[in-house]
């Protein structure tokens, strides 16, 4: 999971609006920080060359005022990274820049996971291409740079059909900005406008933050070039029979303030809570969320059940999201440091605690224990997604299948493991219905095992173990 964004201001508009592209990208990346907290980068241009700043850390730590002044530009692209393929180090930070002797530079930012990166890389290496990172994004960049064609347009259109998996890409050259979504549209990407400038971003919240107007989604399979003429379609690679937006974006990944496919994420999560209350009612005195992502679902559960909503856990907002911390050690510590319980709310009460998902099962137990320690008489855990039983190969670090608690234990066994008085998961049908579409519009493979792109399951051994080995910290447990 990562966040990408881009802006192109025609020369006239840039003069009139006097807004520096890099500064707007900085604030857009701030709004996309929840999609990745390891590194961030911006590439900017005035039409001659590309200037790039990328470092490890949060957006607010990565860019200084002098950086933004140097970047400037009338066009820019930005990236905030959480690693899925490729380890967490500066070499893998994005934007990644490739250079062609005749065409010049191209900067690329990638959200997703190219599942055939290894084969493409082997082929390119056999043709003499040298790689400097372990990330699939460099593979995509080199596949484009080494494709036939007399322009970046031609090379992009030639290379993209060879990629499999999930890829929302934003690319920048001194002459144009490109926005691309894979044929199923697994990762989101939207188009916006601010004054005379055109913008693209992973989520609408990045447009809202800088006062840009949402125009439309970049369609699944759409290859779009943006320059002084505005957006121009270059190719349509859409899958003929279905779409595949990651339903976990609605459950957890996306900001509650964003809209996905025209649907409010906040409203979707409220609906998930309402359906969950119908599917798994409880006799209780209070409904509390595990903040922040489960707040709207708890609001929905409370409304549907008639049980009062309370805040019972207060999140330390300066601890990062546990799920997207790249190592187990960080994840374990952040769970312990993350929440304070409100004894005044919990004392003597039967509590329904609503969370978005249970992945490895390591945080739910401590949460139940924390609630009991602070006076909760009963703890009924409700989860607004189905059990996660399969790994994700499309850009979300779900861990190996063997680490997913629901791949090994039944719901009753999980209940005992986390120490709750009862445990109820939202049904697959309920989750899809709440997300505002039909089953052929979403990827739900981590719940069903039905991958929309054929996944060679030996990748689990190869890619995931390689990823674990590359990390400076060992991999294993994580969120919920």
The least CB distance from residue 258 to ligand SF4, in Å, is: 16
Nearer to ligand SF4, 248 or 266 (CB): 248
Nearer to ligand SF4, 183 or 192 (CB): 183
State both tokens at 219. 């369609």
Nearer to ligand SF4, 95 or 112 (CB): 112
The least CB distance from residue 132 to ligand SF4, in Å, is: 28
The single residue of 2, 5, 114, 392 carrying the catalytic annotation is 2
Nearer to ligand SF4, 178 or 394 (CB): 394
Give, as one character, the DSSP assignment of residue 442: E
d(CA 90, CA 107): 16
Sheet holding 165-172, edge to edge: 96-100, 104-114, 165-172, 177-181, 222-227, 230-236
2 is catalytic: yes
The least CB distance from residue 443 to ligand SF4, in Å, is: 3
Phi, psi (rounded to 5 degrees) for 322: -60, -40
d(CA 343, CA 380): 17
Spatial neighbors of 42 by CB under 8 A, at least 6 apart, are 22, 25, 26, 29, 52, 53, 54, 63, 71, 76, 77, 78, 79, 95
The least CB distance from residue 323 to ligand SF4, in Å, is: 11
Residue with tokens 């595990």: 290
Nearer to ligand SF4, 151 or 448 (CB): 448
Spatial neighbors of 273 by CB under 8 A, at least 6 apart, are 296, 297, 298, 299, 300, 301, 302, 303, 304, 354, 384
Residue with tokens 């546990």: 322
Residue 21: which of 2, 47, 55, 60 has the closest Cα? 47
The least CB distance from residue 169 to ligand SF4, in Å, is: 16
State both tokens at 68. 């933004």
| Binding interface with ligand SF4 (CB under 6 A) | 186, 246-248, 392, 394, 396, 443-446
Spatial neighbors of 58 by CB under 8 A, at least 6 apart, are 33, 37, 40
Catalytic residues: 2
């Amino acid at each position: 999971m990562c966040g990408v964004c881009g802006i192109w201001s025609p020369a006239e508009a840039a003069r009139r609006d006097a807004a520096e592209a890099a500064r707007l990208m900085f604030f857009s990346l701030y709004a996309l920080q929840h999609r990745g907290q390891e590194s961030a980068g911006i590439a900017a241009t005035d039409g001659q060359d590309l200037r790039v700043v990328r470092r490890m850390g949060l957006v607010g730590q990565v860019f200084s005022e002098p950086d933004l002044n140097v970047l400037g530009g009338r066009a820019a692209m930005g990236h905030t990274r959480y690693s899925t393929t490729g380890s967490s180090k500066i070499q893998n930070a994005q934007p990644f820049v490739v250079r062609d002797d005749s065409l010049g530079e191209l900067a690329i930012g990638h959200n997703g996971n190219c599942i055939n990166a290894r084969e493409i890389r082997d082929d390119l290496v056999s043709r003499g291409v040298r790689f400097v990172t372990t990330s699939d994004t460099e593979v995509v960049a080199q596949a484009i740079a080494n494709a036939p064609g007399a322009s970046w347009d031609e090379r992009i259109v030639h290379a993209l059909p060879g990629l499999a998996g999930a890829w929302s890409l934003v690319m920048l050259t001194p002459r144009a900005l490109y926005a691309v979504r894979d044929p199923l549209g697994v990762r989101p990407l939207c188009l916006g406008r601010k004054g005379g400038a055109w913008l693209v971003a992973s989520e609408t919240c990045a447009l809202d933050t800088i006062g840009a107007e949402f125009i439309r989604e970049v369609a699944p399979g759409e290859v779009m070039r943006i320059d002084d003429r505005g957006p121009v379609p270059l190719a349509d690679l859409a899958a003929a029979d279905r779409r595949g937006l990651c339903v976990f974006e609605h459950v957890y990944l996306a900001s509650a303030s964003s809209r996905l496919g025209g649907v409010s994420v906040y409203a979707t999560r409220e609906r998930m809570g309402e359906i969950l209350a119908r599917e798994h009612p409880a006799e209780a005195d209070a409904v509390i969320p595990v903040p922040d992502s489960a707040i709207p679902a708890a609001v929905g559960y409370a409304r549907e059940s008639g049980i009062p909503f309370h805040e019972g856990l207060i999140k330390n907002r300066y601890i990062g999201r546990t799920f997207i911390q790249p190592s187990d050690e960080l994840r374990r510590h952040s769970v312990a440091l993350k929440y304070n319980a409100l004894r005044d709310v919990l004392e003597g009460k039967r509590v329904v605690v609503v969370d978005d998902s249970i992945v490895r099962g390591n945080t739910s137990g401590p949460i139940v224990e924390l609630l009991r320690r602070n006076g909760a008489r009963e703890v009924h855990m409700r989860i607004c997604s189905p059990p996660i039983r399969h790994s994700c190969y499309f850009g979300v670090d779900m861990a190996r299948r063997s680490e997913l608690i629901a791949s090994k234990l039944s719901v009753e066994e999980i209940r005992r493991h986390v120490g709750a008085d009862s445990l109820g998961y939202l049904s697959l049908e309920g989750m899809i219905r709440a997300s505002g579409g039909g089953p052929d519009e979403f990827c739900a493979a981590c719940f069903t095992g039905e991958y929309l792109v054929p996944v060679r399951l030996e990748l689990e051994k190869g890619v995931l173990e390689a990823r674990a080995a590359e990390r400076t910290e060992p991999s294993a447990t994580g969120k919920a």
